[in-house]
Amino acid sequence: MATFLYRLGRFSFRKRHFVALFWVALLALAGAGAAGAPAAGNSSFSIPGTEAQKAFDLLDERFPGASADGATARVVFKAPDGQKMTDPGNKAAVQDTVDELSGGAEVAQVTDPYQGGGVSQDGTVAYASVTYKVPGMELEETSREALKAAAEDARDSGLTVEIGGDALQAIPETGSAEIIGIGVAAVVLVITLGSLLAAGLPLLTAIVGVGIGVATITALASTLDLGSTTSILASMIGLAVGIDYALFVVSRYRAELAEGREREEAAGRAVGTAGSAVVFAGLTVVIALVGLSVVNIPMLTKMGIAAAGTVAVAVLIALTLIPAVLGYAGRRVRPAGEKSKLLGGGRAKDKADRPNAGTRWASFVVRRPLAVLLLGIIGLGAAAVPAGSLELGLPDDGSQPTSTTQRRAYDLLSDGFGPGSNGPLVVVVDAQGSEDPQAVFRQAGDEIKALDNVVNVAPAAPNKAGDTATIAVIPDAKPSSVATEDLVHDIRAVGADIKDGTGAEVLVTGATAMNIDVSQKLNDALLPYLVLVVGLAFLLLIVVFRSILVPLKAALGFLLSVLAALGAVVAVYQWGWLSGLMGVEETGPIMSMMPIFMVGVVFGLAMDYEVFLVTRIREAHVHGEKPAQAVVTGFRYSARVVTAAAIIMIAVFSGFIGSSDSMVKMIGFGLAIAVLFDAFVVRMAIVPAVLALLGDKAWWLPKWLDRALPNVDVEGESLAAHDGAAGKDDEDKELVRA
């Protein structure tokens, strides 16, 4: 592989006009597709194989035209102090609003608060429910504007009016913090590479890669039902790995220049060595992201595949576009150790004999490996303690900022009707084939009413055929509470008894039940997913490092970092520690997708640093250095770059903490803190300590396995056969044939 990548690097350097034109054309093509595509909305959400999804599908079948999957809105009214919603003037204003909303072209139904039990017991709060004919992602902007206008007209009469539900759900915004993250990355690159031009190359190529990935996702969003969050997550991961991969190739290029090689030869060797590490690091990320499909939640599968595609583009750009732009830069990109005149060029030579920070740190670790190892494990273990209190759920309007109308509507409903009114359960009773469906409907309602934590059970509403009915159940607790989850399980237990006695099927659905089923499905899939992803990556790393213990250490270190990161997420978003600093206005359960998403993404990113760092250590060991000295040599050449890459990734992920979407905000924080733990505690401390303790045993591999494994030559040993002469025509021909 190293030889092929070496030739690819030289080809890209020499044929830079062709390579640059190819990527610019691809970016333009993707951009044109995105410009002509419909805007992405919120992806349709389904959970195959769950009771909530089965009930949802049954509603579509037995209640045609009821728009079971249509967008919903709750217009909540609050009377002025000293008045009630039943006062004639307030009642007339609400009636005008209901009439105004009923005329909408996409409106399926509007419930009158005074006829549908939508007035609180104290008379101060009322709500009208609006159901639309189309899902929220397909709702026309005119319908949203009409909803806002109707609320504004009601406000003019003196009422407080807020709107909840998904009809007004907006595409998430990441805010200016994302730009700050890129700015921090730029500063780190300048400090690391000692040149404004060299620092600009990774940023430029990463932006091109993310532009291609996100534009492609946008172009296909409507066709493949990709939600707006998909492109945000793809840009988050693609930007971080794109900068890092490019940084490693540029850094190796400068190191090759410092050894006296010509620029084309240096580009070839940089791609042949650092590029090999990029390929395998990228593969681990892609495996982790594509592996999300085992969960069998279509939305999560699409998010994973889209992000994996963006990572694959980042790898290809690092292997081809980076050497091409290095060719354009020419002598303006200086050898390692030299700085541009603007940044104080020439001063580095005065400190040439002084060991760098990576060398000094590695020397310290190999002298005291056991102490460093124990300190790292104890620290991560302490950070992981809050993960034992992890509670899972999905965000609702209660997690929105208090500045939004959705959150204010949520609070008004909680005050007027109790917190459970924000998450009503829909019980579907399928009595088809039963001798007395009406009796079954009554029995189901009575038994549910007798359960704990139930505030109200509406009368059964049968369909036209009379064989299926829906029963609305209002819990006593808020939708994301453990008590509401227990109630869902209790209703399902009642349904099992009814089925045994009558043959009728009782199913629970609605947004709250759907969230509970998602959490359960994700919990059930976590262990198989972990085994699949870690197992595949373990095999891949055995091939890369030709060792058993090094990949095992890498996997165990990952588990430590991801548990510590989950602990930090629980401490901030569930317990409320530093919540003000992180912009968390409402604590609560952790998003159901968080653990499995973090396992996938963090594992891929953790293996990035493992590959980049340990490849340099193994390269020194292969060339004859003793284990402890190989660790020091590896850190001398790679610690600075790995540290810079980690800081860049943390900065990019932290930028998404400013997003308006609670899911994106939480993922941004979780990934940033996970990279912090993994890069600076696991890879920079625990890894060298373990390698120092293991000595030569770290690189042990059974002889039969050594013979069976392919030699991928990540260290670039085969490149020693190349004499560095540039411009060989036969290499271009071989590349074309390859």
Tens digit of each residue's pLDDT (9 = 90 or more) over 136-179: 666 788 888 999 999 999 999 999 999 988 787 765 555 555 67
Q: What is the mean pLDDT of the chain?
A: 83
Q: Is the pLDDT of residue 716 over 70?
A: no
Six-digit token pair at 468? 């299926």
Q: In whole angstroms, how far apart are CA 706 and each of 548, 653, 711? A: 11, 39, 9
What local confidence, expressed as pLDDT, does residue 735 receive?
46
pLDDT over threshold 50, residue 737:
no
Greater pLDDT, 42 or 563: 563
pLDDT reading at 97 higher than 80: yes
Considering only residues 637 and 369, tell me which one the structure prediction assigns the higher pLDDT: 369
One-letter amino acid of 147: L
For the ranges 102-106, 340-344, 413-417, 625-629, the lowest mean pLDDT is seen at 340-344
Q: What average pLDDT does this structure show over 45-70? A: 77
Q: Are 522 and 592 in contact (CB under 8 A)?
A: yes
Q: What is the pLDDT of residue 118?
A: 87
The pLDDT score that the predictor gives to residue 175 is 52
Contact 709, 542 (CB under 8 A): yes
pLDDT of residue 734: 46
In the DSSP assignment, the letter for residue 106 is T
The pLDDT score that the predictor gives to residue 718 is: 65
Highest mean pLDDT out of 322-331, 606-615, 711-720: 322-331
129: β partners: 74
Whole-structure pTM value: 0.78
Crossing angle (nearest 10°) for helices 662-677 and 627-655: 160
**Exposed, middle or buried, 619 (CB in 10 Å: 0-12/13-18/19+)?**
buried
Q: Which of 22-31, 69-78, 725-734 has the lowest mean pLDDT?
A: 725-734
Could you give the 3-state DSSP secondary structure of residue 338?
coil
What is the pLDDT confidence band of residue 345, given thresholds at 50, 70 and 90? low
pLDDT tens profile 656-688: 787 766 777 888 899 899 989 999 999 999 999
Q: Determine whether 163 is exposed, middle or buried from the number of CB atoms within 10 Å of its CB (0-12, 13-18, 19+).
A: buried
Checking if the pLDDT of 297 tops 50, the result is: yes
Of residues 86 and 71, more confidently modeled:
86
Residue 557 predicted with pLDDT over 70: yes
Task: Supply the pLDDT for residue 348.
Answer: 46
Q: Provide mean pLDDT across the span 259-288.
A: 86
Mean pLDDT of 493-508: 90
What percent of the chain clears pLDDT 70, i.e. is strictly above it? 89
pLDDT for the residue numbered 429? 93
Answer whether residue 69 shows pLDDT above 70.
no
pLDDT band at 726 (very low <50, low <70, confident <90, very high): very low
Q: What is the mean pLDDT of residues 16-21?
A: 94
Contact by Cβ (8 Å): 272, 3: yes
